[in-house]
């Protein structure tokens, strides 16, 4: 019976040992609770197949899906002061949190800037990563946005921004708020150079980011269901002590009230951005033969026609004056 005793520990080990399963093997839909295999979700551009819920995307994946063949060059951003206020959030130092998020995201800060081609047209683009301290706007993130805009001016290309942020970074105090006028000046530089500035508002876009460069684009596109606001609905409801309308501050609500230009499914986002870049940089004889005001009207009507061409996106409905004031 000695052979039984020799194999008994092995049998016990097979029965008691648990296989290690990666944490991100399955992803749960926040809306429906549907479980989706991570590889399937990634192949579907992080859109839940059943509910069409748009999950957040990391900045490198955003840019890879935007540029031709997923290839782009990262635009270098100069270093800024680290933790100038020596901020401590509870028991954690801000400098330690920066190190942790840099290790977790492999990014230097919340904004990644790249340049490449979109359907053959040269562009510059920046994407905010919500995984890096909530995509918050600090000195490094503000510097990255400005550098991206300046690179677009230097190269004479359109600039595309993917916004995803909880607002200004509290750990940097007034230094983070200074980035709002800095980025606004960058937007003005694009306008003076007559270059398109396209903004894609993703879930969520809030606070100081919404109050500055995220709402200063030539065309504002939102992903379905994205929360777009300055103060969140919970804060507003607790302040005014009134029940808010259904879907308040969501992309579809803002479209119906004229705050954004279109709501576009992520699968159609790339072709929409490419069409807008071609439209806003057209230099044909027809464009030269009309006055600037007439050309602006033509472009506006074309954008509206493009926005209404999507069957799966809610169209803005007429709003009564009383409802608009609300």
- Please tell me whether residues 47 and 101 are part of one structural domain: no
pLDDT value of residue 286: 38
- Please tell me whether residues 157 and 257 are part of one structural domain: yes
**Confidence class for position 1, pLDDT limits 50, 70, 90:** low
pLDDT score of 64 more than 80: yes
Could you tell me if residue 239 is inside a domain? yes
Q: 144 to each of 80, 123, 124, 285, how far by Cα in Å?
A: 10, 16, 12, 36
pLDDT value of residue 319: 55
Could you tell me if residue 209 is inside a domain? yes
Please state, rounded to an integer, the average pLDDT across all residues of the chain: 87
Could you read off the pLDDT of 224-267 as tens digits, one per residue?
999 999 998 889 999 999 999 989 999 999 999 999 999 999 99
Full DSSP string of 217-278: SSEEEE-TT-BB-SS-HHHHHHHH-SPPPTTTTBHHHHHHTTSSSEE--GGGHHHHHHHHHH
- Please tell me whether residues 313 and 227 are part of one structural domain: yes
| Spatial contact of 190 and 152, defined as CB atoms under 8 Å apart | yes
pLDDT value of residue 292: 45
- Please tell me whether residues 42 and 63 are part of one structural domain: no
SS3 9: helix
**Confidence class for position 285, pLDDT limits 50, 70, 90:** very low
Could you tell me if residue 66 is inside a domain? yes
pLDDT score of 217 more than 60: yes
Could you tell me if residue 192 is inside a domain? yes
- Please tell me whether residues 126 and 45 are part of one structural domain: no
- Please tell me whether residues 134 and 152 are part of one structural domain: yes
Which residue range is the domain that position 35 belongs to? 28-53
Backbone region of residue 278 per phi and psi (left: phi > 0; alpha: psi in -120 to 50; beta: other values): alpha
Mean local confidence (pLDDT), 284-290: 39
Q: Token pair of 249, please?
A: 């501050």
Of 38, 53, 68, which residue is a domain's last?
A: 53
Q: What is the total count of domains within the chain? A: 2
Angle between helices 139-155 and 179-192 (to 10 degrees): 10
Could you tell me if residue 42 is inside a domain? yes
- Please tell me whether residues 110 and 182 are part of one structural domain: yes
- Please tell me whether residues 121 and 41 are part of one structural domain: no
CATH code of residue 81: 3.90.226.10
Mean local confidence (pLDDT), 1-27: 64
Angle between helices 59-66 and 269-280 (to 10 degrees): 60
Could you tell me if residue 201 is inside a domain? yes
- Please tell me whether residues 120 and 103 are part of one structural domain: yes
pLDDT score of 326 more than 60: no
- Please tell me whether residues 154 and 248 are part of one structural domain: yes
pLDDT score of 296 more than 60: no
Q: 223 to each of 90, 114, 199, 227, how far by Cα in Å?
A: 35, 21, 11, 9
Could you tell me if residue 77 is inside a domain? yes
Q: What is the DSSP letter of 17?
A: P
pLDDT value of residue 322: 55
- Please tell me whether residues 131 and 212 are part of one structural domain: yes
CA distance 270 to 68: 10
């Amino acid at each position: 019976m000695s052979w039984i005793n020799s194999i008994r520990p092995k049998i016990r080990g097979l029965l008691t040992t648990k296989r290690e399963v990666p944490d991100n093997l399955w992803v749960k839909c926040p809306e429906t609770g549907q479980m989706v295999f991570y590889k399937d979700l990634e192949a579907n551009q992080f859109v839940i197949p059943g509910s069409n819920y748009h999950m957040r995307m990391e900045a490198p994946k955003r840019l890879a899906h935007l540029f031709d063949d997923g290839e782009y060059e990262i635009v270098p951003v100069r270093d800024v002061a680290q933790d100038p206020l020596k901020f401590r959030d509870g028991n954690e130092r801000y400098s330690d949190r920066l190190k942790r998020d840099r290790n977790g995201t492999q990014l230097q800060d919340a904004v990644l800037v790249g340049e490449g081609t979109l359907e053959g047209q040269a562009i510059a683009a920046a994407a905010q990563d919500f995984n890096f301290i909530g995509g918050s706007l600090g000195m490094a993130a503000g510097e990255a946005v400005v550098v991206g805009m300046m690179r677009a001016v230097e190269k004479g290309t359109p600039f595309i921004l993917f916004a995803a942020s909880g607002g200004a970074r509290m750990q940097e105090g007034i230094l983070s708020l200074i980035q709002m006028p800095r980025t606004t000046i960058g937007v003005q530089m694009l306008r003076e150079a007559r270059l398109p500035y396209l903004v894609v508002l993703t879930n969520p876009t809030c606070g100081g980011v919404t109050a500055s460069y995220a709402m200063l684009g030539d065309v504002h596109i939102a992903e379905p269901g994205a929360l777009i606001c300055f103060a969140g609905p919970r804060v507003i409801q607790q302040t005014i002590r009134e029940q808010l309308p259904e879907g308040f501050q969501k992309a579809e609500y803002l479209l119906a009230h004229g705050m954004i230009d279109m709501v576009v499914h992520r699968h159609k986002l790339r072709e929409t951005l490419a069409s807008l870049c071609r439209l806003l940089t057209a230099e044909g004889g027809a464009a030269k033969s009309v006055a600037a005001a007439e050309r602006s009207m033509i472009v506006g009507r074309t954008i509206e026609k493009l926005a209404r061409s999507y069957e799966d996106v809610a169209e803005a409905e007429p709003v009564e004056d009383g409802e608009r004031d609300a």
